[in-house]
Structures are given as C-alpha cells and as structure tokens.
Amino acid sequence: MYKFFSHLSFSLPTICFGLIAVLALTYIGLIAVVMNYAALTVTFSQSVTNDEATVGTLESQYLASVANITNANYVALGYAPPIAQVFVPTKSVTALR
C-alpha cells in the first residue's frame, strides 16, 4: 500500500488547485439553485396575482347576482306575497355552551 501512495505524487499546489476547482463548481451550483428558486418564486407570485384577479371578477359577478335577487319585485314576477311571517325562537348558539 505504501508503494501505491508513493507513485501518486500529489503536491500541495495540485491539491490546492483541485480544491479551488471543486469549491468554484460548488459555488456555481449554489448560484444556479438560488436563481432557480427566485424564478419559481416570481412565477408563483404572478400566478397568485392572476388568481386574485379571477376571484375579484367572480366576486363582482356574485354580488351583482345577489343585488338582482334582493332588488327583484317578486309580485311583479308572478309570485304571491307571504300570508304571514313567523320567526322561530331558538336558543342562542355560541361556541361556549
């Protein structure tokens, strides 16, 4: 085994240059990972903005529908008005009974 290591002549500069090359490649790899993460974050935030716009559109359509239902004259539409309104008494329901 000693003969094997004696044939490999690694000098201190060779080891240092090899270590520098490995560290440089690792640094480049880390930069690539961080840039990829940043791109994914920007893409995700853009999709959230698009989803918020879609929800806003749907909410305005919903509120317009509710306003049409609330403001409708049901007697003019052919419905009979209620004969009596009765409210059912109940106990108040809370989270702490």
- pLDDT, tens only, 10-19: 788 889 999 9
Lookup result for tokens 């989270």: 95
Rounded to whole angstroms, the Cα distance separating 73 from 96 reads 41
Per-residue tokens: 91? 């106990």
Read off the pLDDT of residues 34-93 as tens digits, 9 standing for 90 and up. 999 999 999 999 998 889 999 999 999 999 999 998 898 888 888 888 788 888 777 776
Q: Determine if the pTM surpasses 0.85.
A: no
Domain definitions of the chain by residue range: 32-79
What is the predicted pLDDT for the residue at 97?
Answer: 52
Give the pair of three-digit tokens for residue 60: 């305005």
What would you measure as the largest C-alpha separation in the chain, in angstroms? 109
Whole-number pLDDT of residue 6: 58
- What is the per-residue pLDDT for 82? 79
